[in-house]
Structure 1
Amino acid sequence: MADKITDEMIEYVGILAKLQLSEFEKEKAKNDMNQMLSYIDKLKELDTRNVEPMSHIFPVTNVFREDKVENENQKDAILLNAPKKKSGCFQVPKTID
């Protein structure tokens, strides 16, 4: 698969990415993409028949925890920070006429 990237492909990718590449940049991109394909060819040599497909590198099981109320009913302590309060609530200036 390596060395399959053509000048036309680089030109097409540049158009799709809306890039204006110089000749030097096109050649560099072509070499970089060929190196990536060479690496993929190298990976294809690995025997993965007994490797189970996975979505995470670590086994993920029930990452949820049970909800526990820890700071219940701190209304009075919170209202101590209010510059103004009315009927047990923060009093704020009216914003709509």
Structure 2
Amino acid sequence: MSNISRDEVAHLAKLARMAVTESELDVFAGQLDQILDAVATVGEVATDDIPPMSHAVPLTNTFREDVVRPGLSPEEALAAAPAAEDGRFRVPRILGEEQ
């Protein structure tokens, strides 16, 4: 016997905006009951001695040290640019704006 009634399945289907036939109500009631039984079985597992975790295996971060290094000077950066203007990269207009 299913713990979930046809009315409950119909209500859930209405909330989910699903069209469910009369024959599907019985099928879904049985399937939902099996799902709830499986979830209840998982909930019965003794987990008092198992700490909560976010992953099945331990993870360690592999970040490198944050070391300040010298970068390019503005002149060095603009030296390889196809076009520069007023100390900035010059790029073609792409939005069709008026000058």
TM range (shorter): 0.5 to 0.7
1:34 is matched with 33
Give the match's secondary structure for 1:52.
coil
1:57 is matched with 56
Give the match's secondary structure for 1:58.
coil
In structure 2, list runs of 5 or more residues that go unmatched: none
Q: Taking CA–CA contacts closer than 8 Å with sequence separation of 6 or more, which of the two structures ends up with the larger relative contact order? A: 1
**What is the CA deviation profile of residues 16-73 of structure 1, one whole-angstrom value per residue up to 9, with x for unaligned ones?**
1111122344333222211111212322442222122233333456x47343467932
1:15 is matched with 14
In 2, distance between residues paired with 1:9 and 1:23?
A: 13
AA matched with 2:80: L
Q: TM-score, normalised by structure 2?
A: 0.62
In 2, distance between residues paired with 1:71 and 1:28?
A: 68
How many residues end up aligned between the 2 structures? 94
AA matched with 2:88: C
Identity of aligned residues (%): 23
In structure 1, list runs of 5 or more residues that go unmatched: none
Q: CA RMSD in A?
A: 3.5
